[in-house]
């Protein structure tokens, strides 16, 4: 005995079960990301002036790597078109082409995640520095001649942790070029990097671009990480369909095509979230 | 939603649902997909270049960026996700969640900006 | 009359100018509830009795005809609308939203909740608030008052639950905030409740009309000492208040911090 | 019409195990039968047993708290030493510390809402009854259904680990208001609150899987002839509830994730700038907003309370129609009202936040919607009342509970009105009046509906009736004790007694009584304690009855022992895998009782000819 309408649509609704199921799930996802976007808007609208002196803005922006973000957007868009092409290939009974497009999709997904972790690492090793005399910088930290790195998390410091290290009394700091006031312009227009030699007791505040550093980073990391988890989950499912799950094509081709459509719908949704996320956190 | 009775005559031939996309149809869909793909890339390029062009008004920048994002998301939803020819039930679900999403964001924002006279939302240490 | 009936169900007597309005609304809502409840209960008990199986072995397929219930439901809606438009909204607009102006010569008190005490701070004899800085804030100096600032020298502070005084029949404006978690500044007898939320200052105002000792309840869970976070204040005559104020102001420095 | 219904029959007779409903022909082993079952009935029973246990546990927590309220600072008899052994320092000497009181309070609220009542009323009854009532062989996604149950268990277990973490279980109320929730155990990143949030994410996942499944099932798997206006009211209630869960829970999930970030990674989503805790500045960046948490929480919180009560309306409607032997009065208006409640419940949430400081405009908006939502509730309740009129009422045990539900919910609902007006809420907010209000709707309200449901569907699930006499003892004892527990709370609320007081308000009403305070309020605490203990005693007949009847209850002689009309009674008893022996066809509405001219006083939905 089987559940009806797993492959054929129910006549009066015109839908097969999984299609309705995935759209319901996506509706809840809209509310999930909707909640996060609402939080973002609220925190940003309410952000107080002067909380982040280094960029002289209430809400630091232009701190993310725009060229890379743009590239990643293109990667995700590509994967979105390939997944729908994969489905179309099945519709045209071309299994080999289906598998090719699926592989491309999964490859894009993994590239997206790889690039994203490169960006994360870039942020975790980027610092905000404020001195006792009120000067503020962003840049890179050099402790005992080495750049602290994300992959070795014990070397990501804030001021307290730095002071707790007895063998460190001074640091070097490669400051980023000054930015145009009022509107940060990312990596554009490189001026020279200033090298600072500092005693630890000159420093008022020092922290990497971590979630705890500022609400902007907090929301950036939280939403993109959640989005990344969706990408990862989607990639796993699509990879499953491309290989072990593809057995179903032989026995139940319609049900298999439906699964691909449903998986694709999820994948497009992930793309949709990014379409908003990218301008909102990178550009605005 | 329609009464279950009414589907009587078609009930036996539910298979029709899928075969109406014949190969020819799909081939024309593929053209659309490629077109949308290109449009999405173009949209991305416009958004980013607009950022470098640097408008004076932040509000304008935000408006344009979100406008382009909306168009892009419309394209994805309408063509990749086939919303343009989807069933009523799906539209219903999406409309409901859209309404509640707007209610959540809108009312929260309003709630955080309508205070009794004299309230100060930002500083604790008032002189 | 209303006051009497409410006191019969245990309601505290009000002690502020707008208390009667709030109590009036409470009364009328309960009147509506009471009428509905008794009406419905009568119908309900009658139905249970009359249509029990023994009395009515054969059920009637149709049951009640007519539109009585519709009229009733519309009636409930209308009464609710009247209470809303006639009482609730105007009371809020007046008693909560509209602040007294300088012409009303209000007494202004900063109220700061902290785990698990209430603090009050009045500008001193000079009428100016001392300089406040979060960097100076501590367990004993919740306002972060700068002792070096001249304006702070004569400020009146009642810290860590020390009772404060207010004059009777004069508008009082409390500017309520918190330094750690959310508390709620509830003066049950004044019919005042306002959450004390860190990061923001929200005013609440009232005109005390009775003298005597009153409590402040912390009406928001704020940690292990929540139940103990009682505050006290006293409403006194204008003369007595002036005397107290002058003494406290002279003692100066805000007291309680160095 | 008769030629068409073949399309719901199995389409792939070959029985490949790829289908969702993979069931092999060997005798399933224990694990497959009880733990990894995909049968909606087994899952329903699993949910019911787990949720009833949690309900009982939530009640035990509350008994300890009520003892502490009446006897602050005294050791709790009997369980005190046990608590000390299990929980250590927080219960040293068998006494409850204030922190422990807060933990128990938060866990009572959370457990009751998320682990007990919602899983019972929605997942257990919904799973068991909805597919039967619409004539489906199972849920649309049986394996998703199983996953939902497993998430639920994992969430529950995660919560319980909280009791053993440093600082104890979450202790910031079931509302988990920030900054308290973050600040309470700032030193430990993995504290009870963290466990609560992680568990919450799992529970939300469980609910989302469940609710999407319910909606898909109702939309897709209705039997032939089961049109929308022929659905039993219970199914409608569950259908709307599923939408509430589906769309209201995700924002709380978002909020939970943000608060988790605050707790574990020390972000400042809900922490404003300039927090000074215990005399020193909190080492966080600040810039967040505590009110944001409240908005996101109550955006779920209010729809959630209708999640608690709508399915209860559904159960009560079923039982009343069956026991009055007449159709529900105003079925259609009830359906429209449920839908209206569903919609409106999303836009009333800030009535929990009047006293955070609200301008006139926004508070007017929210109190208007709050008043609007009370109207459809009145319509439903009125329709149920009127349904009694003209009936031939049998006072079976389920009927007793269902009938008692009406005035009890009435009291709870009516007392919501003074809370819904912002100006009267000034005085009543966060007092025991609120506690009284919502316990009347959830305890003698929803819980009575649940009991009604248990007694009502027990014979379908087990093939045996529960004992009538014990049931009546359970009913009358619970009815009286519930009222004696919760009615005094309104008086306490009027006297200005605040909720969440570990000393039961002694500091405000005991020594050094201030203006307006009446120490008599403390005496009521003792009365409530006594009644709560008695309430406990009156649950024992139920627990005994429940287990005893599974094996020894009177066997039912027919598949339809209550002479009911809906499809759930058209199955064998207990229903086998796949439910129906032959595919049901529906010919009429759900409550065709005492149809003039019919041969019996009930005409089941799948009976073609009323005279047959
Ligand atoms: C199932 C749960 C449930 C239900 C159905 C309701 C229903 C309602 N609730 Fe309640 N509420 C809660 C659960 C519920 N509530 C909880 C848990 C809290 C506290 C949360 C916390 O802070 O921890 C709360 C708190 C709460 C508050 C905040 C109080 C405060 O913190 O200050 C408010 C304010 O508006 C409110 C209003 C209402 C209103 C107007 C309704 C209306 O929908 C009611 C409509 C119903 C009626 C109007 C009754 C109609 C029936 C009859 C008229 C029949 C009468 C019958 C006989 C006489 C036999 N509720
Ligand atoms: C659905 C929700 C629900 C339910 C059913 C209950 C049920 C009860 N609640 Fe609860 N309560 C809350 C939700 C609920 N509560 C919430 C949300 C809060 C606020 C928490 C906060 O402040 O954050 C609260 C707070 C709260 C307080 C206030 C504490 C304080 O502010 O300090 C009190 C005080 O008396 C209380 C008492 C009770 C009592 C006596 C019951 C009784 O009705 C319990 C009755 C239970 C039973 C009778 C058990 C029946 C079970 C069985 C018989 C098991 C059978 C098992 C098998 C057959 C296997 N509750
Ligand atoms: Cu402060 Cu409760
Ligand atoms: Cu509510």
Ligand 3 within 6 A of CB of C210: no
Going by C-beta distance under 8 Å and a sequence separation of 6 or more, which residues neighbour residue C97?
B116, B117, D359, D360
Q: What is the token pair recorded at A155?
A: 């070397």
pTM assigned to the model? 0.92
Q: What is the mean pLDDT of residues C30-45?
A: 91
CA distance D82 to chain A (A): 41
In sequence order, what are the residues at sequence separation of 6 or more whose Cβ sits closer than 8 angstroms to the Cβ of residue C215? C187, C188, C189, C230, C231, C232, D508, D514, D515, D517
Range list of β-strands (E), chain A = 127-131, 136-142, 170-175, 194-199, 203-208
Specify whether A171 is located in the same domain as A240: no
Angle, helices D360-388/C68-82, rounded to nearest 10 degrees? 160
Best probe of the B interface among C94, C97, C101, C123, by most B CBs < 10 A, is C97
Task: Tell me, yes or no, whether A57 lies in a domain.
Answer: yes
What are the residues whose beta carbons fall under 8 Å from the beta carbon of D71, sequence distance 6 or more? none
How much is the average pLDDT of A127-142?
Answer: 78
- The CA distance from D54 to D43, in Å, is 16
Residues D415-467: tens digit of each pLDDT: 999 999 999 999 999 999 999 999 999 999 999 999 999 999 999 999 999 99
Query: Residues with Cβ within 6 A of ligand 1?
Result: C 36-37, 40-41, 44; D 175, 305, 308-309, 351-352, 370, 373-374, 377-378, 381, 406-407, 410, 413-414, 416-417, 419-420, 425, 429-430, 434, 437-438, 441-442, 446
Instruction: Supply the pLDDT for residue A51.
Output: 58
pLDDT for residue D12? 37
Q: Note the pLDDT of residue A151.
A: 60
Tell me whether residue A3 is in a domain. Answer: no
Query: Which of C12, C59, C197 is nearest residue D495 as measured by Cβ atoms?
Result: C12
Interface of A with B in 9-48 (CB under 8 A): 9-16, 19-20, 23-24, 27-28, 30-31, 34-35, 37-38, 41-42, 45-46, 48
| Interchain CB contact of B112 with C (< 8 Å) | no
Nearest-angstrom CA–CA distance, D230 and D216? 17
- C-alpha distances out from residue C135 to A153, C27, C132, D320, Å: 31, 48, 9, 65
In angstroms, rounded to a whole number, what is the distance separating the alpha carbons of residues C226 and C229?
A: 5
Instruction: Locate CATH 1.10.287 in chain C.
Output: 2-97
Nearest CA-CA partner of D124 in D315, D268, D287 = D315
**How far, in Å, from the CA of D302 to the mean position of ligand 1?**
10
Confidence of residue D579 (pLDDT cuts 50, 70, 90): confident
Helix, strand, coil distribution of chain D in percent, nearest 5 = 65, 0, 30
- Poorest-pLDDT segment among A20-34, A155-169, D355-369: A155-169
- Say if residue D402's pLDDT is above 80: yes
Is the sign of the CA dihedral D472, D476, D482, D485 positive or negative?
negative
C51 or A196: whose pLDDT is higher?
C51
* Cβ–Cβ under 8 Å, residues D233 and D316: no
Contact between A155 and A124 under an 8 Å Cβ cutoff? The reply is no
**Average pLDDT, stretch B106-121?**
80
CB < 8 Å to D10, chain A: 1-2, 4
Q: How far is the CA of A3 from the centre of ligand 3 (A)?
A: 55
**Confidence check: pLDDT of B126 > 50:** no
Rounded to an integer, what distance in angstroms lies between the CA atom of residue B31 and that of residue D24?
A: 45
Ligand nearest to the CA of D344: 1
Least confident of B16-20, C1-5, C84-88, D512-516: B16-20
Ligand 2 atom with the smallest distance to the CA of D502 is 32
pLDDT of residue A152: 62
Topology adopted by domain C105-251: Immunoglobulin-like (2.60.40)
Crossing angle of the two packed helices A17-45 and D192-220, in degrees rounded to 10: 140
- Contact call for D291 and B112, based on CB within 8 A: yes
Q: How many CB atoms lie within 10 A of CB C20?
A: 15
Block residue for tokens 């203990």? D533
Q: Which residues, listed in sequence order, are joined to residue A199 by a DSSP beta bridge?
A: A170
pLDDT band at A254 (very low <50, low <70, confident <90, very high): confident
Query: Residue D120: is its pLDDT beyond 80?
Result: yes
CATH 4.10.320 fits C2-97, yes or no: no
Mean pLDDT (whole number) for D223-238:
93
The residue among D241, D234, D209, B1 whose CA lies nearest residue A24 is D209
Contact B127 C129 (CB under 8 A): yes
Mean pLDDT of A106-118: 93
Nearest to D247 among A31, A39, A213 (CB): A31
Specify whether A24 is located in the same domain as A146: no
Cis preceding linkage at C116, omega within 30: yes
Cβ contact A91:A275 at 8 Å? no
pLDDT of residue D3: 36
CB atoms within 10 A of CB B117: 12
| Fold classified for D41-271+287-570 | Cytochrome C Oxidase; Chain A (1.20.210)
Q: How confident is the model at residue A58 (pLDDT cuts 50, 70, 90)?
A: low
D213 closest CA partner among A164, A218, A20? A20
Looking at residue A192, its pLDDT comes to 59
Q: Are residues A57 and A86 in the same domain?
A: yes
How is residue D584 annotated by DSSP?
-
Q: In this complex, do A2 and D12 lie within 8 Å of one another by their Cβ atoms? A: yes
Contact indicator for D68, D61 with CB cutoff of 8 Å:
no
Same domain assignment for residues A108 and A133? no
Q: Is the pLDDT of residue D361 over 80?
A: yes
> Which are the contacts of D25, defined by CB distance < 8 A and separation ≥ 6?
none
The percent of residues above 90 in pLDDT, for chain D, comes to 64
Q: Report the CATH number at residue A96.
A: 1.20.120.80
- Which residues form the domain of A50? 18-123+215-283
Distance A202 CA to ligand 1 centre (A): 58
Strands (E), chain B: none
Within D325-462, residue ranges assigned H as helices are: 331-344, 360-388, 397-420, 422-428, 432-441, 448-462
Rounded Cα–Cα distance for residues C114 and C108 (Å): 19
Q: Check if D411 contacts C (Cβ < 8 Å).
A: yes
Helices (H), D39-141: 40-70, 79-87, 98-110, 118, 125-134
Cβ-Cβ contacts under 8 Å, B123 against chain C: 201
Is the pLDDT at D151 greater than 70, yes or no?
yes
B·C CB contacts under 8 A: 49
Find the residue in A nearest to B87 (Cα).
Answer: A14
Domain presence at residue A1:
no
Domain identity same for A99 and A166: no
Q: What does the pLDDT read at residue A183?
A: 42
B94-101's contacts with Cβ under 8 Å and 24+ in sequence apart are B94/A23, B94/A27, B94/A30, B96/A27, B96/D243, B96/D247, B97/A27, B97/A28, B97/A30, B97/A31, B97/A34, B97/D247, B98/A30, B100/A31, B100/D247, B100/D248, B100/D346, B101/A30, B101/A31, B101/A34
Please determine, for the modelled complex, whether the ipTM score is greater than 0.90: yes
Best B119, B120, B121, B123 member to test C by mutation, with max C CBs in 10 Å, is B119
State yes or no: pLDDT of B7 exceeds 50: no
H or E element at residue D281 = strand D280-281
Q: Is the pLDDT reported for residue B15 higher than 60?
A: no
Segment D135-160 shows an average pLDDT of 93
**CA–centroid distance, residue C155 to ligand 3 (Å):** 25
Residue with tokens 């202790």: D171
pLDDT value at C256 more than 70: no
* Long-range contact pairs involving B56-60 (C-beta distance under 8 Å, separation at least 24): B58/A183
**Chains linked to C by 3 or more Cβ pairs within 8 Å:** B, D
Compare D362 and D28 and report the one with higher pLDDT.
D362
Do residue B97 and residue D365 have CB atoms under 8 angstroms apart?
Answer: no
**CA distance linking residue D584 with residue D606, whole number of Å:** 6
Counted domains in chain A: 2
Ranked by mean pLDDT, the top range of A11-25, C54-68, C82-96 is A11-25
Tell me which residue has tokens 């960006």: A119
Per-residue pLDDT band at A149 (split at 50, 70, 90): low
Beta strands in chain C (DSSP E): 107-114, 117-122, 156-158, 164-167, 172-178, 183-187, 192-196, 202-206, 212-218, 231-236
Q: Does the pLDDT value for residue D196 go beyond 70?
A: yes
pLDDT band of residue D16 (cuts 50, 70, 90) is very low
Between A74-88, D456-470, D504-518, the lowest mean confidence (pLDDT) is in D504-518
Q: Which residues of C touch B113 (CB under 8 A)?
A: none
Q: How many residues does chain D have?
A: 612
Backbone angles phi, psi at D495, to 5 degrees: -80, 0
Q: Out of A163, A184, A208, pick the residue that ends a domain.
A: A208
**Res. A48: pLDDT tops 80:** no
Residue A53: pLDDT band (50, 70, 90) is low
Average pLDDT of span A11-28: 91
Closest residue to D357, CB basis, from B1, B11, B115: B115
Q: In the structure, what pLDDT confidence band is assigned to residue A52 with cuts at 50, 70 and 90? A: low
Element at C245 (helix H, strand E): helix C238-251
Residue B123's closest CA among A48, D316, D572, D407?
Answer: A48
Distance from CA of D283 to the nearest CA of A (A): 10
CB spacing of A279 vs B104 below 8 angstroms:
no
pLDDT digits (tens, 9 = 90+) for C15-28: 898 888 899 899 99
The pairing of beta strand C231-236 with beta strand C164-167: parallel
How many C-beta atoms lie closer than 10 Å to residue D120's C-beta?
27
Residue D292 in tokens: 């944001």
Structure tokens at D559: 């598949």
Q: How confident is the model at residue D38 (pLDDT cuts 50, 70, 90)?
A: confident
For residue B125, which residues of chain C lie inside 8 Å, CB to CB? Answer: 132-134, 137, 143-144
**pLDDT of the residue at C206:** 92
C246-252 mean pLDDT: 78
Most confident range, picked from B17-21, C201-205, D346-350: D346-350
Helix (H, G, I), strand (E, B) or coil at C234: strand
Rg (CA), chain A: 24
CA distance C38 to A113: 65
Which pair of structure tokens corresponds to residue D293?
């948490």
| Span of D171-185, D341-355, D482-496, D504-518 with lowest mean pLDDT | D504-518
**Interatomic CA distance for residues D258 and D268, integer angstroms:** 9
What the block records as the tokens of C116 is 């698990």
- Distance in angstroms (rounded) separating the CA atoms of residues D384 and D221: 28
Q: Other CB atoms closer than 10 Å to residue A194's CB: what's the count?
A: 13
Question: What is the rounded average pLDDT of the residues A220-234?
Answer: 94
Nearest to C203 among B118, B121, B123 (CB): B118
What share of chain D in percent tops pLDDT 70? 95
Q: How far apart are CA D510 and CA D521, in angstroms?
A: 9
Residue A165 and residue A104 share a domain: no
**Beta-carbon separation of B111 and D353 below 8 A:** yes
Chains that touch D (3 or more CB pairs under 8 A): A, B, C
Q: To which H or E segment does residue D276 belong?
A: strand D276-277
Q: Which of C165, C164, C162, C160 is nearest to C114 (CA)?
A: C160
């Amino acid at each position: 005995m089987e559940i009806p309408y797993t492959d054929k649509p129910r006549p009066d609704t015109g839908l097969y079960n999984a299609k309705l199921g995935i759209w319901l799930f996506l509706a809840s996802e809209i509310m999930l990301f909707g909640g996060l976007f609402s939080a973002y808007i609220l925190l940003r609208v309410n952000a107080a002036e002067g909380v982040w002196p280094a960029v002289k803005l209430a809400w630091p922006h232009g701190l993310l790597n725009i060229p890379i973000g743009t590239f990643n957007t293109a990667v995700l868009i590509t994967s979105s078109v390939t997944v729908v092409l994969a489905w179309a290939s099945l519709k045209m009974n071309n299994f080999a082409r289906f598998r090719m497009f699926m592989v491309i999709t999964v490859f894009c997904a993994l590239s997206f995640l790889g690039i994203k972790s490169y960006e994360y690492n870039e942020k975790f090793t980027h610092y905000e520095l404020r001195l006792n005399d009120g000067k503020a910088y962003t840049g890179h930290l050099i402790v005992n001649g080495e750049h602290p790195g994300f992959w070795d998390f014990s070397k990501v410091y804030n001021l307290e942790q730095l002071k707790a290290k007895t063998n460190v009394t001074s640091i070097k700091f490669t400051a980023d070029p000054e930015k145009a006031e009022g509107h940060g312009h990312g990596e554009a227009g490189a001026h020279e990097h200033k090298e600072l030699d500092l005693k630890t007791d000159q420093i008022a505040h020092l922290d990497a671009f971590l979630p705890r550093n500022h609400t902007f980073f907090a929301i950036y990391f939280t939403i993109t990480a959640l989005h990344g988890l969706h990408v990862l989950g989607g990639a796993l499912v699509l990879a499953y369909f491309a290989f072990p799950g593809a057995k179903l094509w032989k026995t139940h081709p319609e049900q298999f095509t439906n699964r691909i459509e449903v998986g694709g719908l999820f994948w497009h949704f992930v793309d949709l979230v990014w379409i908003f996320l990218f301008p909102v956190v990178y550009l605005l | 939603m329609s009464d279950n009775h009414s589907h009587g005559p078609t009930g036996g031939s539910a298979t029709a649902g899928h075969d109406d996309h014949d190969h020819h149809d799909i081939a024309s869909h593929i053209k659309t997909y490629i077109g949308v793909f290109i449009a999405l890339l173009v949209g991305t390029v416009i958004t980013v270049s607009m950022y470098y062009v640097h408008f004076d008004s932040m509000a304008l920048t935000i408006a344009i960026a979100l406008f382009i994002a909306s168009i892009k998301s419309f394209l994805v939803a309408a063509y990749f996700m086939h919303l343009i020819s989807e069933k009523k039930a799906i539209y219903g679900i999406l409309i409901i969640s859209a309404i509640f999403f707007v209610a959540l964001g809108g009312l929260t924002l309003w709630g955080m900006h309508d205070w009794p006279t004299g309230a100060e939302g930002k500083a604790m240490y008032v002189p | 009359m209303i006051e009497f009936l409410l006191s019969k169900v245990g309601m505290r007597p009000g002690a502020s100018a707008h208390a009667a309005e709030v109590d009036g609304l409470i009364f009328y809502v309960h009147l509506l509830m009471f009428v509905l409840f008794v009406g419905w209960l009568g119908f309900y008990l009658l139905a249970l009795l009359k249509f029990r199986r023994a009395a009515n072995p054969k059920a009637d397929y149709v049951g009640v005809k007519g539109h009585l219930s519709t009229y009733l439901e519309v009636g409930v809606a209308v009464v609710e609308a009247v209470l809303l438009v006639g009482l609730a909204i105007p009371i809020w607009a007046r008693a909560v939203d509209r602040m007294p102006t300088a012409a009303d010569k209000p007494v202004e008190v900063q109220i700061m909740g902290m785990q698990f005490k209430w603090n009050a701070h009045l500008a001193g004899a000079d009428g100016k608030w001392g300089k406040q800085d979060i960097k100076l804030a501590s367990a004993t100096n919740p306002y972060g008052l700068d002792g070096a600032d001249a304006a702070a020298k004569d400020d009146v502070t009642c810290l860590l639950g020390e009772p404060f005084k207010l004059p009777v029949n004069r508008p009082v404006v409390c500017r309520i905030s918190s330094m750690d978690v959310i508390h709620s500044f509830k003066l049950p007898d004044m019919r005042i409740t306002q959450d004390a939320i860190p990061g923001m200052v929200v005013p609440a105002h009232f005109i005390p009309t009775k003298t005597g000792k009153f409590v402040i309840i912390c009406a928001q869970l704020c940690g292990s000492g929540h139940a103990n976070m009682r505050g006290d204040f006293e409403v006194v005559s204008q003369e007595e208040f002036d005397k107290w104020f002058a003494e406290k102001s002279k003692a100066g420095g805000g007291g309680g911090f160095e | 019409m008769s030629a068409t219904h073949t399309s719901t029959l199995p389409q792939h007779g070959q029985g490949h195990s790829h289908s969702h409903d993979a069931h092999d022909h060997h005798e399933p082993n224990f694990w497959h039968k009880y733990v990894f079952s995909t049968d909606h009935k087994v899952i329903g029973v699993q949910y019911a047993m787990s949720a009833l246990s949690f309900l009982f546990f939530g009640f035990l927590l509350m008994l300890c708290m009520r003892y502490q309220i009446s006897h602050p600072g005294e050791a709790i008899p009997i369980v005190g030493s046990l608590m000390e052994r299990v929980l250590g320092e927080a219960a040293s000497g068998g006494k409850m510390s204030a922190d422990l009181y807060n933990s128990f309070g938060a866990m009572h609220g959370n457990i009751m809402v998320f682990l007990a009542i919602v899983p019972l009323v929605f997942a257990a009854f919904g799973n068991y009854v909805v597919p039967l009532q619409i004539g489906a062989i199972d849920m649309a996604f049986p394996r998703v259904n199983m996953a939902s149950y497993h998430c639920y268990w994992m969430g529950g277990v995660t919560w319980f680990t909280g009791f053993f973490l440093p600082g104890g279980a979450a202790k910031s109320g079931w509302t988990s208001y920030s900054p308290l929730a973050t600040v309470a155990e700032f030193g430990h990143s993995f504290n009870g609150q963290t466990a609560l949030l992680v568990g919450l994410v799992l529970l939300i996942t469980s609910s989302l899987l469940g609710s999407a499944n319910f909606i898909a099932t109702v939309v897709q798997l209705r039997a032939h002839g089961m049109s929308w206006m022929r659905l039993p009211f219970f199914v409608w209630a569950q259908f709307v509830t599923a939408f509430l869960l589906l769309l209201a829970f995700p924002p709380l999930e978002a909020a939970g994730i943000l608060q988790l970030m605050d707790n574990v990674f020390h972000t400042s989503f809900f922490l404003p700038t300039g927090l000074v805790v215990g005399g020193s500045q909190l080492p966080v960046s600040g810039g967040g907003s505590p009110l944001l948490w409240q908005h996101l929480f109550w955006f779920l919180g209010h729809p959630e309370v209708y999640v608690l009560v709508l399915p209860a309306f559904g159960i009560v409607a079923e039982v009343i129609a069956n026991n009055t032997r007449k159709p529900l009065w105003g079925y259609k208006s009830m359906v429209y009202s449920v839908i209206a409640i569903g919609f409106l419940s999303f836009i009333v949430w800030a009535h929990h936040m009047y006293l955070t400081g609200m301008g006139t405009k926004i508070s007017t908006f929210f109190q208007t919607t709050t008043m609007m939502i009370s109207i459809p509730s009145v319509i439903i309740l009125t329709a149920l009342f009127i349904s009694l009129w003209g009936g031939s009422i049998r006072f079976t045990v389920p009927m007793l509970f269902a009938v008692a539900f009406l005035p009890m919910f009435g009291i709870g609902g009516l007392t919501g009105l003074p809370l819904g007006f912002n100006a009267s809420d000034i005085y009543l907010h966060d007092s025991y009046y609120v506690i009284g209000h919502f316990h009347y709707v959830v305890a003698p309200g929803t819980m009575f509906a649940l009991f009604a449901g248990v007694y009502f569907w027990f014979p379908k699930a087990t093939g045996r009736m529960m004992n009538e006499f014990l049931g009546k003892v359970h009913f009358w004892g619970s009815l009286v004790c519930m009222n004696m527990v919760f009615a005094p709370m309104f008086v306490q609320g009027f006297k200005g007694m605040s909720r969440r007081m570990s000393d039961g308000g002694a500091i405000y009403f005991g020594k050094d009584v201030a203006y307006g305070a009446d120490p008599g309020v403390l005496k009521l605490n003792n009365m409530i304690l006594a009644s709560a203990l008695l309430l406990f005693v009156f649950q024992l007949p139920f627990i005994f009855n429940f287990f005893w009847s599974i094996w020894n209850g009177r066997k039912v002689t027919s598949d339809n022992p209550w002479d009911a009309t809906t499809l759930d009674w058209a199955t064998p008893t207990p229903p086998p895998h796949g439910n129906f022996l032959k595919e049901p066809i529906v010919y009429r509405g759900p409550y065709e009782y005492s149809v003039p001219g019919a041969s019996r006083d009930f005409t089941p939905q799948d009976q073609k000819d009323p005279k047959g």
